[in-house]
Structure 1
């Protein structure tokens, strides 16, 4: 396909919308993305296909290819639509407040759309809203007292993003496991409880024993916030040689 960039296809965000057809079902990339998000929220990414999406929209599957050339482009549109939600009302006058707002809105988005966490940490998200969130985050972190140059900023962003990806994937995984009918916690405890008890009684794992016996069930949101603050404190106070 020839484009202004030669044979390379323009990114989905840069291509103009197809001309509307005289059909009973009007389409747009925004409508396609919103419908795909609703399907993925219910069925997950494994339950999302072009055929199912077309049926939900009331059109033939081939018509969708006027708007997205493959499933990867569809995911790009969905991800950027979620970033649009994250970008809303995230800017604050102070750098730390801005980062806190963005990261907590990212967590809210991942809990509302669990499939979103599956796509974090993979290939770069380069849609306009994703770039806007990235710009706001980087601009805020660049004002942190412990960030004195581009190398510091790269490391700070790396640490923050690693925390976000790891924390959100773990929380979403735990939520899925807790409601999964395939995971019988009682049976698991009955099968492995005696083994774990005997291992802890050996005295070789005293810290693990404390965690198992004395550890409380921590609130997920409070723990997320506490750990996020720890990351930001480390960025702020990191000593320089």
Structure 2
């Protein structure tokens, strides 16, 4: 327990030293703009015009800083209290998580590892468990329902974020990328070796990310309704 940032007594900042909240806010801004790999104790302290030793006085290391960052962003948008309509409430939780992940593209990878245990993270999880509890009184099934919806959101949004990162990395918009690969795609389609892919190119329209997300989420919720008996 002594090693958890949440169990430590928070020191008061020295005169003119940035507060822990300012350090965390700056770290989140760096991660949003440049990726979480750009976040280091030295970089955060330097950006705030403080010595790295000052940051270590309040935060033991980068792992603690990441824990504080995760908890800070999960406290940005509080989830509404359960209404009793588990499907509508779980849908709303999923949509809010998607918004949060798109706002902070680095967050998804951090949430797929060890569980977040900060107060904001626990409050978020507790609320979603309460929502699932209106579907089933079985605590195990409720937790599995939450995990299933969360896994879907992380996977679906991960694809959206990958596209955004590809655009940033290549300097090409999606339309520009499509134009650049157009000749190759036409050659592949014309060869006749991949008929289902050719039909996809010829007949299937592009689906906006929001609509695709909503359709997948509806399928997940349909599955939960079918597999978990309402209690």
Provide the residue aligned with 2:122 in structure 1: 131
Alignment equivalent of 2:33, drawn from 30, 33, 42? 42
Alignment equivalent of 2:81, drawn from 59, 76, 91? 91
Aligned-residue offset at 1:19: 3.2
TM-score for both structures, normalised by structure 1: 0.82
How many angstroms apart in 2 are the aligned matches of 1:158 and 1:38?
28
Aligned-residue offset at 1:25: 2.8
TM-score for both structures, normalised by structure 2: 0.85
Provide the residue aligned with 1:12 in structure 2: 5
Change over 3 Å in CA distance of 1:26–1:54 after alignment to 2: closer
My pick for the range that moved more, 43-52 or 147-156, is: 147-156
Please state which structure has a larger fraction of its residues in helix.
2
Contact 1:83 1:129 in 2 (8 A): yes
Cα-to-partner distance string for 1:90-111 (whole Å, 9 max, x where unaligned): 3241322322222211111111
Provide the residue aligned with 1:52 in structure 2: 43
Change over 3 Å in CA distance of 1:184–1:133 after alignment to 2: closer
CA RMSD of aligned residues (A): 2.5
Change over 3 Å in CA distance of 1:46–1:10 after alignment to 2: closer
Structure 2 unaligned blocks of 5 or more: none
Alignment equivalent of 1:118, drawn from 109, 133, 142? 109
Contact 1:102 1:133 in 2 (8 A): no
How many angstroms apart in 1 are the aligned matches of 2:161 and 2:133?
30
Provide the residue aligned with 2:59 in structure 1: 68
